[in-house]
Structure 1
Amino acid sequence: MWAAIDSVLLGSLHVYRLRLQSAGLTELNPATGQQRLTIFAHGVAGLCAGLTSTLLASPMELLKVKLQLQTQRKASERQFRGPIDCARKIIRVQGIRGLWSGYTGTVVCRTNFFWMFFSFEALMRGFSKLEGTPFQVSTGLANFLSGGLGSFTFWIMAIPADNVKNRMMAHPYPSLYPTAPPPQGFQRPSFASVARQIHAQEGYRGFIRGLGPCLLRAFPVNASAFFVYESLLRVLGAEKTRN
């Protein structure tokens, strides 16, 4: 399912790039004399692609958080036997909309794909300026390094919203009321209320909790993804926004 989310993200990214190019958000490439998408437009395409993928990403994030919070060693003692069972129980209690608990947090978090694709394109142009020097790198290697380093930018910008999102999704409502409707007046926590709670309990440090592991994971995963994605675009002759 995560592959499907990545497919939606990267597939829609390409569509938005072409749309923005058609809308005239371009500049002259001095190396080729052709029009190319501006760095800012690459960021906007990333933001739009991030928002497009939230509809699929938010339920998957919710199920992941619920299952990760189960600390019982025995499977028989756990509330959820797996993602399908977890989804069924959430729907039984909250209805289908319950699968999008924490959706606001997902939206805020994934808007930071602007910074990821903005920095990716900026880095790619930086590597292109090394052509003809002893530090010249191949396009594939530039894709790999730019993707990995660009993911650092994403997580540095997104980690506060990601922490809020995870706590919104970790709200214990399904655990407290597994078979009955919620009590009258019950409300799911809002993005603002959870942010205030984090600040009150942990200060500003609470918003960057987990940044280190995210960065360690981000580089190899995203570097590889960008290498494959950009390589496929070149092979298929589909990349027309970086001419």
Structure 2
Amino acid sequence: MAQDAGGGNHLRLAGAVAGVGSGVTKVAVGHGFDTIKTRLQCAPPGTYKGAIDCLVKTVRNESVFALYKGASPPAVGWAAIDSVLLGSLHNYRLFLARQGMTEPTRKGDGRRLTLLGHGIAGLFAGWTSALLSNPIEILKVKLQLQMERSVEQRQFKGPIDCAKQVIRVHGLRGLWQGLGGSLLFRSGFFFMFLSIEGLMRSFARLDGTRFEISPSFASFLSGGLASFTFWGFSIPADNVKNRIMGAPLQSSPMSVRSVIRHVYHTEGVTGFYRGFTPVVLRAFPVNASAYYVYESLMVLLNAEKTRA
């Protein structure tokens, strides 16, 4: 994404506002896939034969609405998380551009942030958003892992009850269990936003050719395709993070290192890729839609310069 490197740039709230739209889109499009992914990652080995088996058993035993267990925290929280992620991303880009991390535009009529700068901005934005995403994901994961059909039979009656129980047992810091895993997982946004910018620049080079595509469709494709890069690097960390978050409430907190050792010794390298199928199926439609919404809102808010 091209950025003006001039000193007149200032911190804006546009990215945060556009991020709300992105977060809501992610929940609407992808939460069912996420539930299957989380159950595959956290269930004891042999519980499910694969993603389809998990889907069938979940719907058969708990109804189709079980796919949206734990949707309440992200329905509200993902709007806030993506607001922080994409709002801080926008401002980190501006900051790095002001620090001189720029290069001439393709047309030579200005300067833009380097590809590495986009990756670094994504890394910092990922770490920033982890502070907010961690407590929301703790509630989401614990609610998703409840197998009971009846609400009365479940340990957690809802997100508020879940939060109260976590705080009662582990204190307020219990909502930040697994933060190390969250930071590791969200480091993948380095690759996500570096890839998005690289793809957008590649599509821009098609301007004036028979293969020219609109900026909005380029945003859609870039967000979807870059998500495969993100998940290729991040799914092992996602497995570690979710196993920490999904541990029984009364168990002692686990460290990232101890979970990595346990997974490797009991399941081997393949254990870090549990849930890969729903991730692949979910990645493109969710991220393509979310990034399209983000870019469209940024243009609507006049926060982005014309791509060079």
TM-score (norm 1): 0.91
Residue in structure 1 matched with residue 168 of structure 2 by the alignment: 92
1:120-139 pair list within 5 angstroms: 120-139=196-215
Cα distance between partner residues in 1 of 2:242 and 2:192: 21
1:188 is aligned, of 239, 253, 272, to 253
Residue in structure 1 matched with residue 31 of structure 2 by the alignment: none
1:156-235 pair list within 5 angstroms: 156-172=232-248, 174-175=249-250, 187-235=252-300
Residue in structure 2 matched with residue 182 of structure 1 by the alignment: none
Any idea what the Cα deviations from partners look like across 1:187-209, whole Å, max 9, x if unmatched? 42110110011111111001111
Any idea what the Cα deviations from partners look like across 1:39-78, whole Å, max 9, x if unmatched? 1100111111111111110011111111111112222121
Cα distance between partner residues in 2 of 1:148 and 1:95: 39
Residue in structure 1 matched with residue 226 of structure 2 by the alignment: 150
2:148 is aligned, of 57, 60, 72, to 72
Gaps of 5+ in 1: 177-186
2:280 maps to a residue whose letter is L
Cα distance between partner residues in 1 of 2:93 and 2:119: 9
Cα distance between partner residues in 2 of 1:125 and 1:150: 13
**Once the 2 structures are TM-superposed, how far is the Cα of residue 235 of structure 1 from its aligned partner?**
3.0
Does the CA contact (< 8 Å) of 2:169 and 2:250 recur in 1? no
1:124 maps to a residue whose letter is M
Does the CA contact (< 8 Å) of 1:37 and 1:242 recur in 2? no
**Once the 2 structures are TM-superposed, how far is the Cα of residue 241 of structure 1 from its aligned partner?**
9.0
Tell me the SS of whatever aligns to 1:36.
strand
Q: Does 1:61 align with 2:126?
A: no
Q: Does 1:112 align with 2:188?
A: yes
Cα gap change, 1:25 to 1:240, in 2 (>3 Å)? farther
**Once the 2 structures are TM-superposed, how far is the Cα of residue 32 of structure 1 from its aligned partner?**
4.2
Tell me the SS of whatever aligns to 2:92.
helix
Cα distance between partner residues in 2 of 1:138 and 1:31: 18
Cα distance between partner residues in 2 of 1:203 and 1:235: 48
2:232 maps to a residue whose letter is I
Tell me the SS of whatever aligns to 1:162.
helix
Cα distance between partner residues in 1 of 2:204 and 2:306: 15
Cα gap change, 1:236 to 1:32, in 2 (>3 Å)? farther
1:218 maps to a residue whose letter is A
Cα distance between partner residues in 2 of 1:90 and 1:32: 55
Q: Does 1:50 align with 2:126?
A: yes
How high is the sequence identity, in percent, across the aligned residues? Answer: 58
TM-score (norm 2): 0.73
Cα distance between partner residues in 1 of 2:291 and 2:132: 21
Cα distance between partner residues in 2 of 1:60 and 1:8: 13
Cα distance between partner residues in 2 of 1:102 and 1:242: 38
**Once the 2 structures are TM-superposed, how far is the Cα of residue 237 of structure 1 from its aligned partner?**
2.6
Cα gap change, 1:241 to 1:132, in 2 (>3 Å)? closer
Gaps of 5+ in 2: 1-76
**Once the 2 structures are TM-superposed, how far is the Cα of residue 231 of structure 1 from its aligned partner?**
2.1
Q: Which has the higher contact order (CA 8 A, sep 6+)?
A: 2
Does the CA contact (< 8 Å) of 1:36 and 1:241 recur in 2? no
2:241 maps to a residue whose letter is K
Any idea what the Cα deviations from partners look like across 1:116-159, whole Å, max 9, x if unmatched? 00000000011111112211111111000000001111111100
Cα distance between partner residues in 1 of 2:292 and 2:253: 40
Cα-Cα RMSD? 1.4
Higher mean displacement: 13-22 or 30-39: 30-39
Tell me the SS of whatever aligns to 1:73.
coil
Cα distance between partner residues in 1 of 2:306 and 2:192: 17
